[in-house]
Chains A and B, each alone.
Chain A
């Protein structure tokens, strides 16, 4: 075989990202061509979850520490964008507790998205500074406690979040293509981070914390960086969620959503970006297929119809089965490999690092 040209080298390097982007592109183009508004909404909804899941992955996948409370950053992002994009007239009456400059603000959706995600990142950063020194289990639980705290506060902060009521009036500019572009951006962020110095250092600590420390990795700082970036990306997901539905309720950002997003990540395989993406695709597709079957789907000449309400039971059992038969998730911690020829170790062994972690899950018995 010939020596790799520089273009092929870059292609190979970014293939794990490019391949996922390609898969999403195919799905989006096909669904767009179908003209079904419904499918487009399903895919857009799935892609928003994908952004959130990739956000969670940035911390959880690279650090190996379970983040049990990421949905709160979605909530923060979603509410922040509401504060910045609702009509000032509406805010004056409904959200009088907001500071004056926010009440008068009516920002461009893009600017608002970035600022909202930055707010989510800032909150994540402050929490991370406080908790990332303790042990991994304590960190997981602290992220959860922080989420529960944020949830309780937003649920009772009437003058700023409308408390238990819903905020309506967010500009609904988000459609499938908008989410798709952001999904690409977010996946690129996640991938560039994971092959960066920071990502590699954190991954090293995931495999062996003591050894990583010995090599001079400051695990605390690396975890703080990852958690902040994760908060930023999840925040983007929250912003898009808000502008997609046009309505926000604190109740939506709680156990159910935590469960479904974490399940997507873990089912796909929490240790690779491909795992995050595949998990979202599989669960979204499964949910949609079962839903169609509840409505009655004709396959060939036979009508398959599930009784109403059975969909959820099957979905739960399916997730459990995947956990049992593939404890490391569908992708088993691997990225999608370069399809043309065997992988050649790049100097520094980066591609190797990316592919470890698969065999880790089954210890014990």
Chain B
């Protein structure tokens, strides 16, 4: 029993020591401006958080070296030559590993706040990023999700200082529907929903809603499956009963389950064109569906087709490759760089790093040409609802081929958020 008492006292001591060594930083003029990162560095969310996280590092190095790709010069590769911001203050990143764990996420949120950050990133997803975001909101600092697409991230859901870099899932559904209707001439659509996460649901809701508004378009069927279903044979059997075959199959899912569904669909001899959104990011999964054809994909931007890079993208990707020795697997990487671009612009505009002033500056953004594309925030919409999407196709060559950038005519209205049931 004495051993246990000793053990417990030792633990208490260790806890105390690590408590006392916590970070304590004052923030005076001239000190670095601290950007927090409560992201997953080691668990499964790394797939989503990792790329934007790397891009943020590049952006911060760029700011400090006076070579940030300028947010205002789309079309011409220009740089912002100020070293640092607000009269030469350097940017500095502090990071905390959330390990894709909610409690740890909240802790990281608190840690980043305590570390002196007034602007901080949180995980891609509303569920996983929410706990950290709530800590930011409570402390009144600016929190930006690196790629969360749930419209509840923002004023309506978490708080007035919370933003996301991404496009609302519903708005993604809008742009996909309009593009398919206008550019591919599809009229009869079928949607297959993986009901396991909110993103998928919002995406399909947006798609179905917009599709039915379009002229001559009709939604001829829908079905659901679950991310970890080992087989979707029953859904395939039901799909084959639809006569005549739909023009397009919209799949609202993500990798791995989405790729698995697609493999089974193609193997079943169903050659209907398939349309997917950013959650099917990249082409790393395409070995799952050998000989994939008639596959259409809309996403944030282009990292695959060098001849179609914008000057901004080209400069950024060169720096990325130089630093990490590989090309990024998906365009989510642009979101991280754009976040820092947006912050620098807001800092310069506000002339201070006071969070409420930064929020005010960010809310005036109207089609600001960041690396990721035209970015608009308003007082009630802290998420993109009509940013152009980049469309790709796969026609049997096993990789994404650039088609075009396309912007929806109709913006998704965030006030619909209140009636989503």
Please report A residues at the B interface, Cβ cutoff 8 Å: 23, 26-27, 30-31, 34, 36-39, 41-43, 45, 93, 96-97, 156, 158-159, 163-166, 168, 172, 244-247, 249, 251-252, 278, 281-282, 285, 288-289, 291-292, 294-295, 297, 308-309, 311-312, 330-331, 334, 336-337
Contacts and interface: CB of A to CB of B under 8 A. Distances in A.
A364 B418 CA distance: 61
B127 interface: yes
Interface in B138-163: 138, 150, 152, 157-158
B97 interface: yes
Interface residues of B, number: 44
Interface in B170-200: 195-198
B1 A337 contact: yes
B127 A292 contact: no
B42 to A, nearest CB: 4
Q: Which of A37, A163, A244, A309 is most buried by chain B, counting CB atoms within 10 A of its CB? A: A37
Nearest to A335: B1
B365 interface: no
Q: Which secondary structure dominates chain A's binding surface?
A: helix
Nearest to B103: A45
A179 to B, nearest CB: 12
Contacts of A30: 12, 15-16, 19
B399 interface: no
A314 to B, nearest CB: 13
A291 B195 CA distance: 34
A136 B265 CA distance: 45
11 contacts: A23-B8, A38-B22, A164-B197, A165-B127, A172-B134, A246-B138, A247-B102, A247-B130, A249-B127, A288-B18, A336-B4
B294 interface: no
Nearest to B95: A295
A210 to B, nearest CB: 33
B126 interface: yes
A166 B126 CA distance: 7
B270 interface: no
A343 to B, nearest CB: 12
Interface stretch (B107-115, B350-358, B405-413): B107-115
A164 B196 contact: yes
A86 to B, nearest CB: 13
A37 B99 CA distance: 19
A38 B102 contact: no
Contacts of B15: 27, 30-31, 39, 42-43, 285, 288
A312 B114 CA distance: 26
B42 A245 contact: no
Nearest to B158: A168
Given A164-B198, A247-B130, A31 B19 contact: yes
Nearest to A282: B11
Contacts of A337: 1
Contact of A168 (B14, B19, B157): B157
Given A285-B11, A288-B15, A164 B195 contact: yes
Contacts of B126: 165-166
B421 A159 contact: yes
A294 B108 CA distance: 14
Contact of A278 (B4, B110, B130): B4
B107 A38 contact: yes
A172 B138 CA distance: 9
B127 A36 contact: no
B20 interface: yes
B421 A158 contact: yes
Contacts of A37: 22, 110-111, 113-114
B340 interface: no
Contacts of B130: 166, 168, 247, 249
Given A165-B127, A168-B152, 19 more contacts: A26-B12, A31-B15, A36-B22, A37-B113, A41-B107, A97-B421, A164-B127, A164-B196, A165-B150, A166-B126, A168-B134, A245-B102, A247-B127, A247-B134, A288-B15, A308-B41, A309-B43, A311-B42, A312-B99
Nearest to A43: B15
B274 interface: no
B197 A42 contact: no
B335 interface: no
Contacts of A289: 14, 18
Contacts of A163: 198, 201
